[in-house]
Amino acid sequence: MPPHLPSDVTVPERPVTVRPLLCDVGEAAGHRLVLLAVEDWGPWADLRFGRIALPGAAPLARRIPLATDWEVRVDGTPVEVLDVAGRGDRAFSNGEVRVRPSPPPGATLTVRATLAPGATVAVDVVVPAT
């Protein structure tokens, strides 16, 4: 199992800040993806998300998309997706996408996620100052 952080990353004592987003990424394959917050740890950030099955939706093969199913950009520049972790079941799950570098306040964060083959959602959102 790969590590959740590369060995060259120093772990701070606590997050720098948490910036609320609470925005819909979109719906695909009967599931909605919501970005909850940017948890800024300095050298990296966790993008917190929730995935909700809509009534009558078929269960997904996985509770959360794999790291390779995510594409994250900051002001149009790709950032590194380090890891994805989550918990839940086929009807609801939540988790985080770990990226580096951390998106600064005022930056446009572009998030694309493939929930199932052919079922991709995406959003552009400006990272708030607080």
Q: What is the pTM of this model?
A: 0.91
The length of the chain, given as a count of residues: 130
**Cα angle: 72, vertex 40, 114; to 5 degrees:** 25
Render pLDDT for 63-89 as a digit per residue (tens, 0 to 9).
888 999 999 999 999 999 999 999 988
Among 60, 41, 13, 12, residue whose Cα is nearest residue 99: 41
Rounded CA-CA distance 29/101 in Å is 30
Render pLDDT for 20-39 as a digit per residue (tens, 0 to 9).
999 999 999 999 999 999 99
Domain ranges of the chain: 17-126
Domain 17-126 has CATH 2.60.40.1640: yes
AA letter at 117:
P
AA letter at 112:
R
